[in-house]
Structure 1
């Protein structure tokens, strides 16, 4: 009679469960966009390319989107997988938070809180919401009818929609987080010229963001009727004209932001 058991259900079930958990974990990890999964790989980030992209997002944004075709051909994805641009944007927002904290005489702890607010809420949380809306709307409304020349995987990736938000956010950031900082002493004054400057700055920022979103999705060859993405410009301009009657946008936004 053998002393040792011929089979070990405990060990077997342990291996089975461990393998299952590994596969489940791998499946869940694969659903997270590569740009977020690789945030800890600083040595592999191409900060030079990211800086080039941020520069041309202001000078010639169409040139940035020419690279998505090359990225699709080489890596079989429309979305970027290098998180360097996220790190640079977080750094820019942190510097802006420090500058605004100096203007409003914030303590170091308050400056850190402001930086986290700008990064997590203004950029990431808003980006997740916008990307989800763009992803659902594009795949539900803007996809071209299937044809023999259309690849089977011609759908907007959620990660690409987040890329579109990222690209559109940087010019928006320069106008409302940087330019507004230098103009804050002017735009908060109580006269119509200052109100005009304030509201025009906000109009330009949001219009640039809408146009950036349009450029990003218009770059995908399998989307049609992308002009509808410019539709928010009409209510935006209407609201701008109405605001010139006496509603200073900067005053209300900064009072909500800084409580003053």
Structure 2
């Protein structure tokens, strides 16, 4: 009984956690950027270590979600940098860059009740960030280095390389025990093969979409 009461006291409301998290956004000296870089690196090399850290945080701080916004700050930095490179590759002006940077929007489902069965809004947001970061680096950073010299060309190897990057980015699993992901991965593999057979350059299509979306 006493343990249950203590657990309830340690369990902050969603609003309180959100306020505490957002308040730390302006305190850069209190952010652990080195640890955030470590997490970004292991999202590619050993994602299980990142999710193991969520479990440790639950044991020590009674919450799965990150209480340090350093990861979000670094991800925002990468998003801004990649948007600048996109604007350069697509030859967009300053106004086009601003429109492209604001093109992505996020919706959140917040559960105010703090129960063991509920998923913390912050943890759900962290999972979203973890899933988005590898895709951002592959499609918004690595891909841009090869777009003008290779991917944008009307060659089969251009379609093969560009479409392979999309397959890697969308099919990259970052979760532990991902048997259920085999079903969507099968669909992705079929789309990948069909795109090569019909000569569809996915990157070129999406680049055109990005460009004319902000014009």
With the shorter chain as reference, the TM-score category is 0.7 to 0.9
Q: Which residue of 1 aligns with 2:170?
A: 206
In the TM superposition, what whole-angstrom CA distance separates every residue of 1:161-198 from its partner, at most 9, and x where no partner exists? 22112112111111100111011021111122211111
Q: Which residue of 2 aligns with 1:90?
A: 76
TM superposition shift of 1:230: 4.1
Gaps of at least 5 residues in structure 1 are 1-26, 136-151, 219-225
Taking the aligned partners of 2:97 and 2:193, their CA distance within structure 1 comes to 35
Matching of residue 253 in structure 1 with residue 167 in structure 2? no
Q: Which residue of 2 aligns with 1:8?
A: none
Q: Which residue of 2 aligns with 1:11?
A: none
Matching of residue 169 in structure 1 with residue 132 in structure 2? yes
Gaps of at least 5 residues in structure 2 are 1-12
1:1-260 → structure 2 map (5 Å cutoff): 29-30=15-16, 32=18, 35-36=21-22, 38-117=24-103, 121=104, 125=106, 128=107, 153-185=116-148, 186-208=150-172, 211-212=173-174, 214-215=175-176, 218=177, 227-245=179-197, 246-259=199-212
In the TM superposition, what whole-angstrom CA distance separates every residue of 1:66-102 from its partner, at most 9, and x where no partner exists? 2112200111011112111111011111111111222
Compared with structure 1, are the counterparts of its residues 53 and 31 closer, same or farther at alpha carbon in structure 2 (3 Å cutoff)?
A: closer
What TM-score do the two structures reach when normalised by structure 2? 0.80
Taking the aligned partners of 2:20 and 2:163, their CA distance within structure 1 comes to 38
Compared with structure 1, are the counterparts of its residues 43 and 102 closer, same or farther at alpha carbon in structure 2 (3 Å cutoff)?
A: same
TM superposition shift of 1:239: 1.0
Compared with structure 1, are the counterparts of its residues 173 and 52 closer, same or farther at alpha carbon in structure 2 (3 Å cutoff)?
A: same
Taking the aligned partners of 1:33 and 1:201, their CA distance within structure 2 comes to 38
Taking the aligned partners of 1:236 and 1:38, their CA distance within structure 2 comes to 39
Taking the aligned partners of 2:41 and 2:125, their CA distance within structure 1 comes to 19
Compared with structure 1, are the counterparts of its residues 188 and 205 closer, same or farther at alpha carbon in structure 2 (3 Å cutoff)?
A: same
Q: Determine helix, strand or coil for the equivalent of 1:206.
A: helix
TM superposition shift of 1:31: 7.2
Matched length = 196
RMSD, matched Cα: 2.6
195-204 or 58-67: bigger deviation: 58-67
Taking the aligned partners of 1:165 and 1:37, their CA distance within structure 2 comes to 21
Q: Contact 1:33/1:159 (CA < 8 Å) preserved in 2?
A: no
Q: Contact 1:188/1:251 (CA < 8 Å) preserved in 2?
A: yes
